[in-house]
Amino acid sequence: MHGKTVLLTGASGGIGFVTARELARRGARMVLVCRDAGRAEAARGAILAEVPEANVDLLLCDLSLISNVRDLAAEVGRRYEKLDVLINNAGVMPGPLTITREGHELSWATNHLAVFALTNLLLPQLEAAGQGRVVTVASDGHWLGEIEPSQAARNDPEKYSAFAAYCDSKLANILFTNELAHRLDLTSITANCLHPGIVDTGLMAPGRTGLLKMAWSLGKPFMISPERGAQTSIFLASAPEVAHVSGRYFKHSKPARLLSSRAQNRAEASRLWRISAEETGIG
């Protein structure tokens, strides 16, 4: 990874931090995108403590707002001529229905629309790298997801379920990856996504209540560490053997079967792209 520049969102903790540390250890210049300045500096300090020679830059962004994503992409364009790898790692597990000031449900905005917008806006830098890679952290939770036809349907408090919203966003990650890979077929950029496993991270925010919190607590003893959970992200970002692989879903650093027929539907992927382009004004 020497000489390569990697931009990673959600880098201040969990599998994002481990991915950043290990790619820095391999020689990559890491650009860490974090929401909180204090946690970002702590992550950078922790990486430098273990990898003193690491080259680590910080960029702050609340990815739940597309206007912020646009500003982030513009700053990346000013600072870096090329990006060898974009890792869309940031994600939230929503609690009560939260609508951003731009009108989007929080997990849809953070987990999918930000991925859609940032990736599209950074395609020039990825193409300039000669062989750019887009890696998106999805989830096996996609098998319970569906793509709602409108913003109004996603924002309906009568129908809202935090778990369903999360699963919807993870299905969107996979459909987006499939459509992106199709659109980039004649370029040097690849796009893949992955299931990291059920990882013991801060995805479930403190103070969360209800059945989802209870299920998370019961499952905690069976969860894997962030170190194990980060391995497939690291593999897809760095392994020579996947340099020309695109449009695939990975688990345990190997191609895996998608659990939902929806996730393999080209018409559904195309429909999602149209919805996303309308909601972001990008693409």
Residue with tokens 């929806």: 262
Is 80 catalytic? The answer is: no
The region, left, alpha or beta by phi > 0 then psi within -120 to 50, assigned to residue 53 is alpha
Q: Quick one: which of 193, 203, 168 has its CA closest to 251?
A: 193
User: Strand locations in the chain, DSSP E?
Assistant: 5-9, 29-34, 55-60, 85-88, 133-137, 190-195, 249-251, 254-255
**Strand 249-251 to 254-255 pairing:** antiparallel
The CA-atom distances, in angstroms, between 159 and each of 97, 117, 148, 182, 194 are 10, 26, 11, 33, 28
Hey, CA dihedral for 82, 232, 228, 211, is it positive or negative? positive
| Catalytic site residue from 80, 160, 166, 249 | 166
* Residues facing 9 on adjacent strands: 33
Query: What amino acid positions are annotated as catalytic residues?
Result: 166
